[in-house]
Amino acid sequence: MLGLECTGEELLASLRTGLAAGVLDLALNFLPGVAVGLLLGWGWLAAVILGGVTYISSSGIASKVLGDLGQLRNPETPVVLSILMLEDLAMAVFMPLVAVLAVGHGAARAAVSTAAALATTAIVLVLAVRQGRNLSRLVSHESDEIILLTVFGAILLVAGIAQLLHVSAAIGAFLVGIALSGPVVARAHRVIGPLRDLFAAVFFFFFGLQIDPGTLPPVLVVAIGLGVITALTKLLTGWLATGSGQVVALGRWRARAALVARGEFSIVIAGLGVEGGLAPGLRPLATAYVLFMAVLGPILVRATEAIAKEGMRRSPD
């Protein structure tokens, strides 16, 4: 669904213009997680995994909240989406690399896995840009049922191939959304939207099944402290990324708040470390952290919107 928000050409433009913001985002939000992991006495790989958990915002939560509040067409939203897209693409390299290292394979195997992930992502991205219009014409139909089944089938096919090649299935699904353009996008939004909400609920349901509430109290202080720090760094990322002068101060605040939430990718990244047995405290800390940030992010976005509406109500205009 995030991929539907822009075309392949717009994504390439975002990669060119938003690269500096993406590097800043990485530096400000990856390093705090690594530092906390090392301070807790974990190994370097477990600390890097915690850095990945704190680095990536929840594109699912952010796009859902922005859509619900009608902010997808705001001036600051393209900047927010470009940062989220850069983060998702960064995961195409980060996740296969960490997955290989976590199970004990050497640097050579990790390099091969990373190269395969980069090549797969690049090929699918080029196809999305070059053949996007043809795919959109193929998907387009008078019947909503056919659009639903065709788009959903394409998502499953590309995501499955991506997963087979050790690239995140989410990246494959994201690139399918990028490939679609034209009138079919609005109809895909309408027919796929309920599935997104259903699968998001199921995902977090299974996440809840994995949580032992008794393991959370010992790590709450660290999780909340890390959450406060990385909420501030995301706020700073959003503020600096929208500092071009084309976005008013209120828009910059909205961009800040939209990036705060962590969610699905953070959970998956933490799971890689848990499966590798890297640090016993990784699961409870990541769980408490994600729960805190998943709640805090939407609250900040809605609070910012409420402040905006109150300001407009009081404005003499």
Domain residue ranges of the chain, discontinuous segments joined by +: 3-181+192-314
Distance, first Cα to last Cα, the chain: 36
pLDDT of residue 313: 61
Instruction: Work out the angle between the directed axes of helices 220-241 and 282-314 (0-180°, nearest 10).
Output: 50
* Exposure on the CB side of residue 208, measured as CA atoms within 13 A: 6
Q: Rounded distance, CA 158 to CA 104, Å?
A: 28
The H or E element containing residue 207 is helix 184-209
Q: Rounded distance, CA 200 to CA 264, Å?
A: 9
CA neighbor of 174 nearest in space, from 311, 3, 305: 3
Per-residue pLDDT of the chain in tens (317 residues, 90 and over written 9)? 878 877 777 777 767 777 888 888 999 999 999 999 999 999 898 999 999 999 999 887 887 777 777 766 666 677 777 788 788 778 877 887 787 777 766 667 767 767 777 777 777 778 777 777 788 888 888 888 999 999 999 899 988 887 777 667 777 888 888 888 778 888 888 898 888 888 888 888 888 887 888 888 999 999 999 999 999 999 888 888 776 555 556 666 766 788 898 987 888 888 877 777 778 888 899 999 999 998 998 888 888 777 766 655 665 55
Architecture of domain 3-181+192-314: Up-down Bundle (1.20)
The DSSP result for 210-274, as a single string, is T--GGGSGGGHHHHHHHHHHHHHHHHHHHHHHTTTSSS-HHHHHHHHHHT----HHHHHHHHHHH
**What's this model's pTM, rounded to 2 decimal places?**
0.81
Structural contact between residues 234 and 57, judged by C-beta atoms closer than 8 angstroms: yes
The string of pLDDT tens digits covering residues 187-245 is 888 898 888 888 888 888 888 887 888 888 999 999 999 999 999 999 888 888 776 55
To the nearest 10°, report the CA torsion of 279, 96, 258, 160. Answer: -120
Structural contact between residues 85 and 106, judged by C-beta atoms closer than 8 angstroms: no
The DSSP result for 103-158, as a single string, is TT--HHHHHHHHHHHHHHHHHHHHHHHHHHHHHHHHH--S-HHHHHHHHHHHHHHH
Structural contact between residues 8 and 132, judged by C-beta atoms closer than 8 angstroms: yes
